[in-house]
Structure 1
Amino acid sequence: MRFNRMLLSVTLVVVALVIQVSVLARLHLPGAVPDLVLLTVLALALVYGHVGGALIGFGAGLLSDLAPPADHAAGRYALVLCVVGYLAGLARPENGRLKSATGPMAVVVAAAIGSTVLYAGVGALVGDTAARHVGLSSLLITATLYDLLLAPFVVPVLMALARRAENDPLSDGGPSAKTADVSSGWLSSGTGLRIGSQRGGLRVKAAKARVARAGRIKGVKRL
């Protein structure tokens, strides 16, 4: 990943984690907690693709595992978000721009359900039965509802920031390179023709001057 991607991804993930732990988790909503970190991973994966989504998901999940008040084994949510980020990145369009909100909303629903089921499944493998006591169906419904309500205010903004970071004018093939190509093409097609026509006119004038000079010399010889 390029430096601008890494810097933006780390910043957004840290900000999302701080808001989730210090604000959203303290709302004491029924069922699940709105997962701002998951939405951040989804937004970046939809712009950077499956490889970037997997790396960002793993890093974001690992930070979530280590951030207090973590009550589960480290690496559990990192595995979940790594898989979710990889799968969400597969839904990325070729140009990185989505034509409608239907696609991102479908990705949010699938990610909310898939991450909850996968997190509960990994917990069951390591002996954590907290999801069973709370109720998996209640967690699925509330997680999907909260993430859907939060997604329109988070996903489009983060995707726009990620696309803006991708359009780095100092990178190869960026706007400056395109401007340079256009400028060079304009110079070759416009100024080059003018310069060529001026040179051609100078050549014609020089030829006429030589002919006139030769005529005068021949006239002198005839006299």
Structure 2
Amino acid sequence: MRAGRLAVVSVTVLIALVLQASLLPPFSWRGIVPDLCLLVVVAAGLAKDARFAMLVGFGTGLLLDLAPPADHAAGRWALALVLVGFVAGSARQDQPPARSSLAAIIGVCSVVGGSVFALTGLLLGESTLGVTGSLGVVLVAAVLDVVVGLLVVPPLVRLFDRADPVPVAA
């Protein structure tokens, strides 16, 4: 990973984490806020490729797992966001997706990430919601992620593209 891209991605992830953990909770709906960190991983996948997005997802997930007020086993968000990075990177095309395609990609990534996080919580006995309650949270979070993602992901994709332009073959 080039130094410029690493710096841009690191700063973007830290800003998303701080905003998600400190600024958004007062505006939550039943404790659910848009997952800005997940949206950064989606943007990384759409800007570069699955491998890059999976690395960003792993690092971002570990930060989410360790950042206060984390109340779950470390590694759950890392696993979820690695899979989100794979899905987003696999959806990448040569041209930016249309808004409807982008909404679908963000929605699928949000459902995948939220479901993996919820299922690992159920398997580890850390969740009191049960399957039905977790499904409701995942779906509401997906709607919030799509709404915010349609505003946030396109500028992030352009930012990541500019941070590491593809060299033109001579």
Tell me the TM-score normalised to structure 2 length.
Answer: 0.91
Matched, 1:130 2:135: no
| Counterparts of 2:41 and 2:20, CA distance in 1 | 14
User: RMSD in angstroms over aligned alpha carbons?
Assistant: 1.9
| Counterparts of 1:41 and 1:35, CA distance in 2 | 10
1:124-149 per-position Cα deviation (integer Å, ceiling 9, x unaligned):
22111234288123202310111111
1:143-189 per-position Cα deviation (integer Å, ceiling 9, x unaligned):
01111110121001101111111227xxxx35xxx7xx6xxxxxxxx
Which segment is superposed worse, 155-164 or 19-28? 19-28
Q: What's 1:42 paired with?
A: 42
Q: What's 1:121 paired with?
A: 119
Q: What's 1:194 paired with?
A: none
Percent of pairs identical after alignment? 37
Q: What's 1:65 paired with?
A: 65
Which segment is superposed worse, 69-78 or 99-108? 99-108
Q: Return closer, same or farther for 1:25/1:40 CA change in 2, 3 Å cut-off.
A: same
Greater relative CO (CA pairs within 8 A, separation 6+): 2
Gaps of 5+ in 2: none
Q: What's 2:156 paired with?
A: 158
Q: Return closer, same or farther for 1:72/1:100 CA change in 2, 3 Å cut-off.
A: same
Task: Within 5 Å, give how 1:203-214 maps onto structure 2.
Answer: none
Residue 14 of structure 1 aligns to which amino acid in structure 2? L
Q: What's 1:85 paired with?
A: 85
1:62-104 per-position Cα deviation (integer Å, ceiling 9, x unaligned):
00011100000111100110111112101111x3x31412222
Q: What's 1:144 paired with?
A: 142
Residue 99 of structure 2 aligns to which amino acid in structure 1? A
Q: 8 Å contact 1:120–1:131 — kept in the other structure? A: no
Q: Report which of the two structures shows the higher radius of gyration computed on alpha carbons.
A: 1
Q: Return closer, same or farther for 1:99/1:80 CA change in 2, 3 Å cut-off.
A: closer
**Higher helix proportion:** 1
Matched, 1:14 2:14: yes
Q: Return closer, same or farther for 1:130/1:8 CA change in 2, 3 Å cut-off.
A: farther
Q: 8 Å contact 1:31–1:143 — kept in the other structure? A: no
Gaps of 5+ in 1: 182-223
- Count of aligned positions: 170
